[in-house]
Every structure is written in C-alpha cells, then in structure tokens.
Structure 1
Amino acid sequence: MRASNASDQDLGMPAIYLHLLAELLGTLGIDEQELLHRVGLNPSRLNSVDLRVSQPQASEFVTRAIIESGEPGLGIMLARELKLPLHGTLGTAVMSSQTLAEALDLMTRFLSLRAPQLEVTRQVHGSMATYRVRCARDLGPLQGFILDAMLYGCVFMGTQLTGTAVKGCRLERRGPEPGYFHRFRQQIPVPVIYGAGDDALIIPISQLDLPVRFSDHQLAASSRSQCELALKQLTDDAGFACRVRRVIETSHPFPPKLARVAATLFVSDRTLKRRLQEESMSFQALVDQVRLKQACDLLEKTGLNLSQIAETLGYADAANFTRAFKRWTGISPSQHRNEARKPPQRAPDQFVTESA
C-alpha cells in the first residue's frame, strides 16, 4: 500500500501546525508573533485547519524557530500537541475508524492532506507490520522536524485512539541518536531504536485489530468521502497560481508586494508574472480573490466596522474598500453583512383544507 505521491509539487503545510509551533515558542520565551512577521506570515491567519502555508515559508519559519529557541526537539514537542481534530477531515476519518488498522490505512492513503512531503509504505514480515516513512526529496532543515512530528505524532495518535500505548509497538529511526533525544525519551510511550535503515513505525499484526474508542460507522463513511474530495482538490490545485495564492493568503503585511511573493517562491518578478499568465491568471486578480474571501469572512464572523476591515485588507479607507467590494459583488459591504446575518426563512406551513 502506497500513499499518494505529490512530492514533486509544493502542496504546502497546514497552517494550524505552524500556529501550534508558534504557541510552543511562546512557552519557551520567544516572541512568536515577531518571528512570524519576520518570515512574512500573519499570525491571525494561521489558526485554521484549512489554510496552507507555502513550503519555503514553512521551512524558513521552522529553521528560525529551532535556531532562536535553541531547541532542536521542536518536532517532538509539536507531536505531543497534535490532537486528532487538528488534522482536519483526515483527523475526523481516523477518529471514527473501527480499528487501528483502518486508522493507519487512512493515514497512509491520505497523508498528502497533512504532510505532502512524506510518503508511507506498508509491509508485513511475519507477525509484524511495518509502516515505513520517507521523504521523497531532501527538505533541508524542515526534514528532521517533519519526520519527528509525524512519527512521534503517530505514536501519540495510537494512544489517543485506543486509550493506551499499543503493546509491542516500536519506532525505528535512521542515523545515530541525536543529542537532544535523551530529554524526551521518557515521554515516548514505546521503545525508540536509532541506527536503523529506515524511519518506521512497527506494530504487531495482532494489535491492528484494537478497536478505536471513537468509532462511528456513519461518520467514518462520510469523512472518508470528504478526504477523497479534499485529496482531489489539493492535487488539482497544484498549479503555480495556487502556490502564489497560498503566500498571499497568509502574508503579513497584507496585501504582499509582488516582489515579496516572488522572493518567497524563489523566482524573479518577471518569471512569476509569466507563469501566472501561462495559467490565465494575474497577481492582482489573486490578491482580489483573497481580499474578497477575507472580506466576506470578516463581515460575516466579526463585529469589525468597515474602517477596521479596510485597514486589515490593506485599503487606505472604508470608501476604497466599499467601492472594491461593490465591484466584486454588486452590493455594499453593509448589505452583505445584513444579508448574511438574517435568520434563515422557514417555509410556510402547508395546510390542506378538506371540502365539507
């Protein structure tokens, strides 16, 4: 069994993971918001299971986080914080599985939704099942962090699903044991063996039948269908315009300059424009798409006034924002807010009058 391989594309990293990492940095005495700003990320946009951050920005933030905190074990620390609902649709599907085997099969098939840089293969040798995890390409400083978060996260996930550490389970890790690991060893509920040929989670086949304590057959079916749709959308939206949009969506300050986005994606301004033109798109059109989505969210879900929303979206004043919103939607921001907040209309009761 092999997970979908999207390693040749930048499908980004879920923003919620960087949000959790930023919170961890705060507990270590790091000014996490200032660090996010330096990388060009907007802290208020990261607390979402749906948004994704471009791989270059994620890599820069993780690298700076490790250097400035002096903590190379941040991946293990993050793994402890990864509660299943934070994994979005995949987390729901895994939680509602019937058995541990079904949960691991879902993780294997849909890993691209949460960690597209990795691929998983499953092999059976005698009484043991081996889930081997590999990076399809060198991710630089991000690689060790992601492998730590994913592998140790799987161990903690097994405990969340079954209510106890899975008996006979172990982790094997490539290379020598890192100097920082001894500080975390007692927190890992299974043996960890370094010096192995691969990074792998190894589980007795007998343990794969363990029931999941949150099992829900109906929810499992619907959430698996949602995972299929999400995976298709993620891989369909793997073009260059989508990569640019991801940078715009999470940028600080907003809206970002074209040159800043080009530098983030390691291309020239001219190349960025050309590649967008090849996809019948422009940088300004992408900025406007993101602005409209954020404007609607702010109008519908917050009490910010128009001046505050205009400032958040990078407009000089409320009048400029209002003109742009009318151009996009045909109505004013106030009208949109009022329509969104109207209670849903009930259909009138139907009465059948019988003739005497």
Structure 2
Amino acid sequence: MRNSPTLRVALQDFAINQHRNAHGGVTYLLEDKMHAFFGYAVYQPNVPGQYLICDGAAMGAFTIFSELAGTGQASALEVLLARSEPRDVSHYRHSFGVKLAFNADQTAVVFPRRMLDQPIAGADVRRRIVIEKRIQTLWHAGYIDLVTQLRRELRVALIRGNFSATTIAEQLGMSRRTLDRRLNASGVNFQEVLDETRCEYAQQLLECTRMTIANIATIVGYADPSILTRGFVRWAGVTPSQWRAKLGREADTCAGFAF
C-alpha cells in the first residue's frame, strides 16, 4: 500500500487482498458523490464479540488512513461505529481524536472523496510490482467457495444499497445465469443467501446498536419492518424484538464497554 500511486489504489489494494489474510469479514472501499468509506463488515454468522471487532476494525482503518494520507489529514475524518455509545467515551476520543458517530449502520472511516486522488508520498512503482507478484504466490488464507464469495459481495452490497443479482454476478465475474446454475449445484439459490445475509446484518445491528427495528429493516433493504420480521423468524426462530430481548440487554449491548 505504501508503494501505491494514490490513496484510492492503496485502499483498494487492501480491500482486494484482505481475503488472503483472513476469512469471516470483508474490507471495502465505497464512494458516493462527496465521500469515501473505508470499512469492514463481518459476514460470517454467529460471531461473538461484534462490538470488539467493530472497535478493532475502526482503529485499524483509522491507522491505515493516517499512515498513508499523513496524520495532518486526520481532521478530515469521521469514524463510524456500528455499536452503541459506551458510558465512557473518553478512551475513544483520546484514541481517535476525530469526530465519532456511534450507532452507525457500518464500521468505517469517512473522508472527502477528493482525497482518494492524493499521491502516496515515497511510493516506488518498481517495488510495488515486485511486492504484487510475491503476494499473488505466497500469501493466501485458503480457498473461498462460491457461496462464501457471494456472502462477501452481498454484505458490502447491502451497505451500498445495490444488491441485484445481475450486479452481484458481474462483480463475481460471471453472468446471472451462470451464478444461478453454480449456486443450484451447491444446494442454495441467490434469494436464500441474500435473506441469510440480511438477517445476519440485522442481528448484528440489533445486538450492538440502539437502532429501532424499523431503521434496521430499511438498512438491510426491506421496505417494511414486517418483511424483516417474517424473514428473521424463518432464520432465527424468533422475531427481531424477541431476539434482542433474549440477549438480556434490550439494545444496550455495549454500553458498559470501552477499550
């Protein structure tokens, strides 16, 4: 990343190659008209300690950005945390030193999109080529099957707000028909994997934030909370409100925790 030509390429390098290091979560770089989002999301179901993963991912993204863009650029950042605000936020304020947004729909650092074109100081093009070749041959966390690849893509697509099967198939490098055929061979279909990914995302937000169920339904792509409820019952066996209450914390999962 330090030998990438721009900040955009550097962050894309991390996102593209992150699966070589570990599975279960996905790093992403998203852009809208004004902002860029460098974040991390867990797609593996039933991972404990979501709020700790959220904290660690946020600090990792913040550190990477600061090192590549320069510490003087940190004031342009906002850190989104997909967890509720702890009772004592002083540790967070001291560690990040920038604007914080708890109860967010994602864990990411947000900065002006124009900064993506910023050159990386001291980048060496020739060294980058050598490192790229080494990464391709030596660094791999293991095979990722198609269903897992789909979960990774869908988890980010839900944040982006575009999760059509045709678009996802293109991102996976195949046609919609080929994707359907290969998924059927694995014993699942696109809608089933999408619903499971939505419910996992909803479960994370129910556990770690104070968001209302209506807001969560909108975030995971449902026009009506009742649709989320029906899908959640099929997936988890209880309604979202029952699942949240079962935790024994009533949407205050992380209130007592800090670094």
Scaled by the length of structure 1, the TM-score of the pair is 0.37
Normalising by structure 2, report the TM-score: 0.49
Larger RCO: Structure 1 or Structure 2 (Cα < 8 Å, ≥ 6 residues apart)? 2
Structure of higher CA gyration radius? 1
